[in-house]
Amino acid sequence: MVPHYECVIRPVLEAIAVFAARTIGVVLLSGDPERTRAFVAAQPQPERFGVVSAPFDSPWIRDRSPVAVRQRGGGLRWAVTRMQEAERPLDDVLFSRISRPRLDKVDLLLAQGNLVAGADGLAISTARVRQDNPHADRATYAAAAEQLGIRRWLVCRVFAGDTIGHADVYARFLRPRLLAVAWSESLEPDRAVIADLEARVRRARPGVEIVRLPMRSEGGLYASPLNWIQIDRTLLVPRYPLTPEEDVDRIASTLGAAGFRPTFVDSPTADLGGSLHCLTASIYADAQLTGRASARARSSPARRPTRS
């Protein structure tokens, strides 16, 4: 799901949508459906797009989107965490309004961008989760972990100048035993944060492979390539004004050697605290929800956007 939002980064949003539509169905979330339908009509494969009309406050929909949790007996259930209601009141109810499945409420203030999922119930967050929940006790975290399908929850320190503290800037799993981390070329203290996280991941999942990708920062701006969108082995990777060409080459060669196909898109969003992953939401088809229509949903998921 990609927001089609009238703002300075609308070209970036449209580039994401066009790129993703080459491979999968894309749901465009729009406050101006006529404008969005005109955009869809101009695409080479308009049937790959669906349009959902809903009011929302900003294009940063990842943090408000539900978490898909695989159930032991099969199928998926959906959970949404608490957010700062006063900041984005429309966003806080957005997915409750447009989702057909019931959304379980998790009593923890946690942006989905600060919840990086690995295999076997492993999850990574930064210490921002503790900052945002100063009164949460062990029982609150245990209940949230159960709802979110977390069996092992690693909480790492926050980068020196990072005011957002979302883990999808720090680390992302490319596959169950392959973790990519953002290795700062700017600050030694930030490298120490990642080195500590690497050691904890290796203790939690012996045998995991870790690749370091170069990241630049300037003050509170963090140009992390990890805020990418992954579709199977294809990656849409953000390239910021802070990112030198030598880093782009290293990122491309490292990901290529690991068996992935990176494509870079210019992302003038470092000062906004996120990039491509933060601007999108993942929606998963579930046969238990779609019933006999599941095969059709898999071939063209954008045609049945509210079923996932």
Q: pLDDT of 189-205, one tens digit each? A: 999 999 999 999 999 99
Q: Write down the pLDDT at residue 286.
A: 52
Q: Is 256 exposed, middle or buried (0-12, 13-18, 19+ CB in 10 A)?
A: exposed
* Class at the top of the CATH hierarchy for domain 157-275: alpha beta
Distance, in Å, from the CA atom of 83 to the CA atom of 93, rounded to the nearest integer, reads: 10
Give the tokens for residue 147.
Answer: 């709802």
Q: Write down the pLDDT at residue 55.
A: 92
Give the three-state DSSP class for 52.
strand
Write the single-letter amino acid at 127. A
Name the average pLDDT for the chain: 89
Distance, in Å, from the CA atom of 81 to the CA atom of 41, rounded to the nearest integer, reads: 35
List 215's β-bridge partners, or say none.
184
pLDDT digits (tens, 9 = 90+) for 23-67: 999 999 999 999 999 999 999 999 999 999 999 999 999 988 999
pLDDT at 93 over 50: yes
pLDDT at 300 over 70: no
User: CB–CB of 301/308 below 8 Å?
Assistant: yes
Distance, in Å, from the CA atom of 290 to the CA atom of 247, rounded to the nearest integer, reads: 43
pLDDT at 302 over 80: no
Q: Write down the pLDDT at residue 24.
A: 92
Where, residue-wise, is CATH 3.75.10.10 in the chain? 157-275
Distance, in Å, from the CA atom of 2 to the CA atom of 60, rounded to the nearest integer, reads: 10
pLDDT at 137 over 80: yes
Task: Specify the range with the lowest mean pLDDT, choosing from 4-8, 96-100, 198-202.
Answer: 96-100
DSSP assignment of 91-112 equals HHHHHHHH-SS-EEEEEEE--G
Distance, in Å, from the CA atom of 231 to the CA atom of 234, rounded to the nearest integer, reads: 5
| pLDDT band at 73; cut points 50, 70, 90 | confident
Q: Is 54 exposed, middle or buried (0-12, 13-18, 19+ CB in 10 A)?
A: middle
Task: Specify the range with the lowest mean pLDDT, choosing from 82-91, 140-149, 176-185, 195-204.
Answer: 82-91
Which of 209, 133, 212 is closest to 171 using CA atoms?
212
Give the three-state DSSP class for 71.
coil
What is the CA angle 236-239-242, rounded to 5? Answer: 160
Which of 54, 2, 42, 4 is closest to 24 using CA atoms?
2
Q: Write down the pLDDT at residue 221.
A: 93
Q: Write down the pLDDT at residue 299.
A: 36
| 242-266: average pLDDT | 97
Query: For the chain, what percent of residues have pLDDT higher than 90?
Result: 78
Q: Which residue has the higher pLDDT, 84 or 281?
A: 281
| 251-279: average pLDDT | 93
Give the tokens for residue 170.
Answer: 């720090």
pLDDT digits (tens, 9 = 90+) for 274-289: 899 999 998 876 544 3
Q: Write down the pLDDT at residue 74.
A: 80
Distance, in Å, from the CA atom of 160 to the CA atom of 181, rounded to the nearest integer, reads: 16
Q: Where are the alpha helices (DSSP H) in 22-169?
A: 33-41, 89-98, 128-132, 138-148
What is the value of pTM for the model shown?
0.89
Give the tokens for residue 38.
Answer: 């005109």
